Structures are given as structure tokens and as C-alpha cells.
Copies of this chain bind each other. A is one copy, B any other.
Amino acid sequence: MTMPDPVAVGRDLTVGEVARRSGVAVSALHFYERKGLIRSLRSAGNQRRYPREVLRRVAVIKVAQRVGIPLAAIGEALAALPEGRTPTEEDWRALSLMWRQELDRRIDRLMRLRDQLDECIGCGCLSVKACRLRNPHDVLAREGPGARLLDPD
């Protein structure tokens, strides 16, 4: 009978190991734990021990961060999973679709801004009257009625 290697198989990870393998600093892992984004078991001597899943969880956190989702929101999304489990493939699909939409919105916003900026570069209108880049509190707002060109975000 083949015995599984007792050392290499499914051993829990120390915080240093998770740091090395995830590319996240130990201090950041502590921080995530304080914020409730990850959890750890403790060894007899009170050191953190992580099940391997934590790597997946941290990977999800990092992706969401790259998309620009604040940690607090990531935490909420993860906490909303049944029993706070680490995302399954199904969960991941839902989360990433949600974050993808957020990404779309951000791209959209920047592209609209770019268009406005282009108008403005062409016309030099920053100095003049009806610049869509200038905000509603400006001259326009006090110079009588007419189109306001409000552009909330």
C-alpha cells in the first residue's frame, strides 16, 4: 500500500508561505485578516495556519483590486458567499461578471471624459463659454437660462 508523503501533501500553509506564493506581503495578509477578508487557524503556539484555499481567495482579492474595487466592497462580496466559503467556480463567475461591469463603467466614464477633453483641446474653450468640461457652478450657471450641460459624472 502506498502511503502519501506526510510532509508534502495537504499541509496547511504558514503566513510566510502564503506571502511568497501569492506575492502579497505578510503584513498585508495580517491586514486582510483584520478586515475579515481571509481567516486562519492557529497552531498550538498561536501562529497562523492557512488551508490551501486561501491562495485562491487571495487571488480573487488581488484581481478585484486591480479592477479598482475597494477592499471593503471585496470583503462584502466574499462575505455574501454561503458560509463565507472561498469562491467556487460558479461563485467566481458571478463575482467576476459583477466586477467586469464595474470595469465597463469606469472605462466608459474615462472615454466620455476623453471625448470632452478632445472637444476642449480643439476649441480652447476652457477659457470661454460653453465648455462641457467646466462644471455647473461656473460662469454658465449664473449667466441666465439656457442649456446647462449638466454632466453628473
A residues with a Cβ closer than 8 A to B are 20-23, 55-56, 59-60, 62-63, 66-67, 89, 92-93, 96-97, 99-100, 103-104, 106-107, 110-111, 113-114, 117-118, 120-121, 124, 126-127, 133-139, 142
A59 touches B138 (CB 8 A): yes
B21 touches A139 (CB 8 A): yes
Q: Number of copies of this chain in the oligomer?
A: 2
A23 touches B127 (CB 8 A): no
A-B contacts, 20 of them at CB < 8 A, read: A21-B138, A21-B142, A23-B138, A59-B134, A66-B113, A67-B113, A89-B127, A92-B121, A92-B124, A92-B126, A93-B121, A93-B124, A96-B121, A97-B121, A103-B114, A103-B117, A106-B110, A107-B107, A107-B111, A107-B114
**A120 surroundings in chain B (CB, below 8 A):** 63, 96
A55 touches B114 (CB 8 A): no
CA distance A63 to B120 in the complex (A): 11
Shortest CB distance A115–B (Å): 10
A55 touches B23 (CB 8 A): no
What 7 A-B pairs are tightest by C-beta distance, nearest first?
A23-B137, A89-B124, A96-B121, A23-B135, A107-B110, A103-B114, A63-B133
